[in-house]
Amino acid sequence: MYNFTLDQFIHKKVIEINDRYPLFIFEENVTLMIECSWRLRDNETIVVGCSEYNSKETHKKTHKKLLDLLKGQAIQHIECIPPVSDLLIHFSNGLYLELFSNSTEYESWTLADEKGFQLVSAPGGKVCFFE
């Protein structure tokens, strides 16, 4: 189990998603930089995945879909899942963003706020936490 809480991110709304790479910007300067495999799903299917987001042919359409689905949506639940620091975010519209740490060499994702909190999925799925 991890020795930190992510409760401070509950109710933060998505205000923007960078159109070049998956950088989610939430209220109060909360950011989520994604550098790993991810998907947005509902209770039955994958709604948006990183493969089409990262594809030159489908990126623009996929980014618009992702932004349309998540802009203004609030985090209802957020959890860093052991043992390899996958991240699960449940949004107010019922969608789930799942991040899968997938590198032994590079960071997979970083969640940060303007107060100095930083949670990083480090190489190998280890968790680095700064406050």
**Residue 59 pLDDT more than 70?**
yes
Q: How far apart are CA 80 and CA 118, in angstroms?
A: 13
% of the chain beyond a pLDDT of 90: 91
- If pLDDT is split at 50, 70 and 90, which confidence band does 128 have? very high
Write the pLDDT tens digit of every residue in 80-117. Answer: 999 999 999 999 999 999 999 999 999 999 999 999 99
Contacting residues for 115 by C-beta, under 8 A, at least 6 apart: none
Domain assignments of the chain as residue spans, ordered by start: 7-130
Dist. CA 58–CA 56, nearest whole Å: 6
Query: Is 80 exceeded by the pLDDT of residue 34?
Result: yes
CB atoms near residue 81 (< 10 Å): 14
Residue 1 confidence (pLDDT) above 80: no
Beta-carbon count within 10 A of 104 CB: 8
Under 8 Å between Cβ of 80 and 6: yes
Average pLDDT over the chain, rounded to whole?
A: 96
Single pTM value for the model: 0.95
- What is the model's pLDDT at position 131? 85
